Amino acid sequence: MSGSCRDSAPALSESQAKPKRKLNRLSGYDYSTENAYFITACIENREHTFGRVVEDKVELSKQGEIVKRRISGIPDFFSEVSVLESVIMPNHLHCILMIGDKGKTLSQIVQSLKSACTRQAKKEGAKLMWQRSFYDHIIRDEESYCRIAEYIRNNPLKWSVDVENIKDRKAEEYYAEVIFGKRNAAGGSGK
């Protein structure tokens, strides 16, 4: 047999040759809608930039303190947004944000937070590199809110088994199983 598979493969444009990035947001959903949202944002390569967990408590680094201040200040910049819960872990953060009147989208708010943290860290001579995008979950009822809020509050206690500390599990699978109490076998987003 002459030639190889490559000889007969169609030429692909650059955009076709690269794997398509999975869309993180729920298709067709308006993320400026009044609702509570659970978000997770990670540090690039999951490096422990924000601090460390010692005896089940988070000791924040300079960058972690910057992030803590910026999360607390979200309502100062976005009057329609409340921070209902938050925790800063060594390499990621979790928040429940409540968006009130239609204004900015969740993506705009999170991007603004990440940018403000990065700029402030640079001003203070510290390095802060975020992983691209973020995980979100639309909180649809009180039971879901309570389960997620408890997860956030207990996150430092569970650091040794946290998916963001153990790199061999996909975060999405972990959140579906541990936080939302179900397996996400279809690979869905948990939204």
pLDDT score recorded for residue 16: 44
pLDDT score recorded for residue 1: 45
pLDDT score recorded for residue 178: 54
pLDDT score recorded for residue 85: 96
Cβ neighbourhood burial of 63 (10 Å; 0-12, 13-18, 19+): buried
Question: Do 176 and 190 meet the contact criterion of CB atoms below 8 Å apart?
Answer: yes
pLDDT along the chain (191 residues), means of 10: 46 48 61 85 90 90 94 92 95 93 86 95 92 89 93 89 60 56 45 42
C-alpha span between 171 and 135 (Å, rounded): 9
pTM exceeding 0.75: no
The residues facing 85 across adjacent strands are 96
CATH 3.30.420.40 fits 27-179, yes or no: no
pLDDT score recorded for residue 19: 47
pLDDT score recorded for residue 5: 42
Domain segments of the chain as ranges: 27-179
pLDDT score recorded for residue 160: 76
pLDDT score recorded for residue 81: 93
pLDDT score recorded for residue 175: 55
Backbone angles phi, psi at 144, to 5 degrees: -65, -45
Taking alpha carbons only, the member of 70, 146, 79 closest to residue 115 is 70
C-alpha span between 181 and 164 (Å, rounded): 18
